[in-house]
Structure 1
Amino acid sequence: MRRPASDPSNAILLEAIERLGKKQDDFMEKLLEVEKSVASNSVLISDLTLRIDAVEKYSENTAVKSGKMDSQLSSLVAENKRLWDKVDELDAYKRRWNLRISGVLEEEGENVKMIILDIFRQVSPGLADVLQSSIDVAHRLGPKLGYTRPRTIIVQFLSRSHRDRIWADARRSEVLKQKKIRISEDLTERTKEARNKLWPLVEKARKEGRRAGFGGPNAVVDGKRISADDV
């Protein structure tokens, strides 16, 4: 009997099976490659995870160290401010025995101490007999600038009470106004800076008829002390 035309021959079936087997082999090879790639990626991912963990741990340690450093820095800044405040306080205390005199014309070969004694005797006549022994040092500050701009004179007293008496009398002295001579406190640079910052506040209060002045580096308005940090 004849084989039906629709039945594939053995050769065709074998060829089909071989093609299918080859496709399976190709698929298995690709699958193995994928598995190898996955395994390789797994190793890379594991290594990356370890690295990330190490970085996170390092970051945490760095953050802790940074926090400690910030705390130490804040402590050092506070300590530095405290020390500077102490130095300024000691400097200001030492200067309480001093007065500055500006506006006194310079002369060649002048005796500064005798010039100051003469001025102070006019400012505080009641101290005329004790001023000679009350003043320790009197000299001009800085290099000579010429006679058109007289240098300021610094005076250091042995007696704090005599210094305070002259300072009080100088505020209402007509002699100083006539001679255009100004007597002022010997302030530290920090106190000067603080007062310059607070001066508009003091000036405004005075214009309003309120009691205003300075006490050390602070402004005093109607009995209330105001620091430069408050402005």
Structure 2
Amino acid sequence: MDELKDKAAQNSSMLAALSKAVQFNAEEVKDCKAKVNEMESQFSLIQKENAELKERVKEQDRYKMRWCLKFKGLPEKKDENIRMDTIQLFKQIIPDMDLQRLEDAVDIVHRVGKREEFRSRPVVVLFARRLVKEELWRRTKDSPVCRERGVRFSEMMPLEDREARKKLWPQVEKARREGKRAYYRGPHAFIEGKKIG
């Protein structure tokens, strides 16, 4: 009997210890759940902030690129002064604009891409005056100088915008063939003033 009483007392103290351990674990699990919930809400806030920051960076890229033009077709020469060659080309495209105004408007000019032996690299121009850039961009579309010299201008835009435009191009092309007014604004396409895609 005494032996049974001892075993019962031992079992009772073991059960009490197990009960404390289970209670402690339950508290820990409750704590962990609260921390996980807090981290999940912080994670969703961080995801939202990250998406907003990415969009702001894209907008800044778009804005910065509105000050640039890219063109192809200017023959590449050894030891060239690409800035002066570019300004001379612009002067031919806009003959009524003062040369000094053009020189002041053109900030940075450089070629992009890897040098190849029988191919001229494209040229990127960063303008200090956006009005001059817009005027030049407008005039290049019907410029006989561009046609004669085989120079093609394009706007600078982020890769995502170029990809978005590429996807919408078949619809824009079809609309133009049908005589509808179709154009791009940023990454978006518009047909007869309605945004598509």
State if a TM-score over 0.5 links the two structures: yes
Higher relative contact order (CA 8 A, sep 6+): 2
Cα distance 1:219–1:173, how it changes in 2: closer, same or farther (>3 A)?
Answer: same
| Pair 1:81 & 2:48 matched | no
Specify every segment of 5 or more residues in structure 1 that has no aligned partner in the other structure, as ranges.
1-27
- The equivalent residue for 2:190 is 221
Q: What secondary structure does 2:126 align onto?
A: strand
How far residue 174 of structure 1 moved from its aligned partner, in angstroms, is 4.7
Q: Hey, what's the Cα distance between the residues in 2 that align with 1:99 and 1:221?
A: 22
Of all paired residues, the percent bearing the same amino acid is: 29
TM-score (norm 1): 0.68
Cα distance 1:219–1:37, how it changes in 2: closer, same or farther (>3 A)?
Answer: same
- The equivalent residue for 1:134 is 105
Alignment size in residue pairs: 192
Q: Hey, what's the Cα distance between the residues in 1 that align with 2:54 and 2:121?
A: 29
1:105·1:147 contact (CA, 8 Å) conserved in 2?
Answer: no
> Which amino acid letter does the alignment assign opposite residue 44 of structure 2?
S
Q: What secondary structure does 2:108 align onto?
A: strand
Q: Hey, what's the Cα distance between the residues in 1 that align with 2:59 and 2:173?
A: 28
Please list, as runs of the form range in 1=range in 2, the aligned pairs for 1:13-162 lying within 5 A after superposition. 33=4, 36-127=6-97, 129=99, 130-141=101-112, 145-162=115-132
Cα distance 1:70–1:128, how it changes in 2: closer, same or farther (>3 A)?
Answer: same
* 1:176-204 CA-partner distances (Å, limit 9, x unpaired): 345432212232xxx32233044222322
How far residue 164 of structure 1 moved from its aligned partner, in angstroms, is 0.4
Cα distance 1:119–1:74, how it changes in 2: closer, same or farther (>3 A)?
Answer: same
Q: Hey, what's the Cα distance between the residues in 2 that align with 1:212 and 1:36?
A: 94
Cα distance 1:41–1:202, how it changes in 2: closer, same or farther (>3 A)?
Answer: farther
> Which amino acid letter does the alignment assign opposite residue 192 of structure 1?
L
1:106·1:147 contact (CA, 8 Å) conserved in 2?
Answer: no
How far residue 65 of structure 1 moved from its aligned partner, in angstroms, is 0.9
How far residue 44 of structure 1 moved from its aligned partner, in angstroms, is 2.8
1:97·1:156 contact (CA, 8 Å) conserved in 2?
Answer: yes
The root-mean-square deviation of aligned C-alpha atoms, in Å, is 2.9
Cα distance 1:60–1:178, how it changes in 2: closer, same or farther (>3 A)?
Answer: farther
> Which amino acid letter does the alignment assign opposite residue 203 of structure 1?
P
TM-score (norm 2): 0.77
* 1:41-69 CA-partner distances (Å, limit 9, x unpaired): 33333322222222221111111111111
Q: Hey, what's the Cα distance between the residues in 2 that align with 1:90 and 1:102?
A: 25
* 1:149-193 CA-partner distances (Å, limit 9, x unpaired): 322212122321111011122234454345432212232xxx322
Please list, as runs of the form range in 1=range in 2, the aligned pairs for 1:204-215 lying within 5 A after superposition. 204-208=171-175, 209=178, 211-215=181-185
- The equivalent residue for 1:6 is none
| Pair 1:183 & 2:143 matched | no
